[in-house]
Amino acid sequence: MSDKVIHAIYDDDDVLLKAVKEVREANHHIDEVYTPFPVHGLEKAMGIANTRIAITAFLYGITGLGFAVWMMNYMMIEDWPQNIGGKPSFSYAENMPAFVPIMFELTVFFAAHLMVITFYMRSKIGPFVKASNPDPRTTDDKFLMEVPVTGDAKELEAFLTKTGATETKIVDKH
């Protein structure tokens, strides 16, 4: 594996999308693409598989629902049963309609907060993590494709320029 990569800068998202398809058709690997905004269809063009984030969201929601049921049963039925407004507090089933809003809120709370934590861990971002953006212009109006150098670097640079790159640069892999 090469320790050098080529940073190809593009000015337009449509040109970038077309270039990604051409680079993949030429059997070159694309390490990463940095864009200032989401580009529709880029993940499909790069061959990135769909995520399983919806499955984790469902599991986190079920965890929140289970926690809500356990918490309300313990607090309102077992530990400190109270007669509030004439409502019986002898069993969970009798009080369930009053507990529905709490179950809903804790389901959403667990799913949302655990999804954020999962996203940060999976993306290796978050507080105190140094950003790994190779070119600050990609946060403004440029698009950068990072391609590892395999074989002749000059030939690969010429190919990327032919795909519409406005500039290319060979750098050490970070």
Tell me: the pLDDT tens digits for 41-73? Answer: 999 999 998 888 899 999 999 999 999 999 999
8 near 168, Cβ under 8 Å? yes
Element (H, E) at 144: strand 143-148
Q: What confidence score (pLDDT) does residue 34 get?
A: 94
Q: How confident is the model at residue 86 (pLDDT cuts 50, 70, 90)?
A: confident
**Nearest by Cα to 55 from 115, 133, 122:** 115
Tell me what the pLDDT averaged over the chain comes to.
Answer: 90
- Higher-confidence position of 117 and 83: 117
Q: Whole-model pTM above 0.85? A: no
Please tell me the least confidently modeled range out of 35-49, 74-88, 154-168: 74-88
What does the alpha-carbon distance between residue 10 and residue 8 come to, in Å, rounded to a whole number?
7
- Write out the H or E segment, with its range, that includes residue 167: strand 167-172
Token pair in block for residue 53: 């984030």
Beta bridge partners of 115: none
pLDDT at residue 173, as a whole number: 81
165 burial via Cβ count (<10 Å: 0-12, 13-18, 19+): buried
At 121-152, the pLDDT tens digits run 888 887 788 877 888 899 899 999 999 998 88
Q: What is the mean pLDDT of residues 81-110?
A: 85
Closest CA to 36 of 5, 6, 19, 12: 12
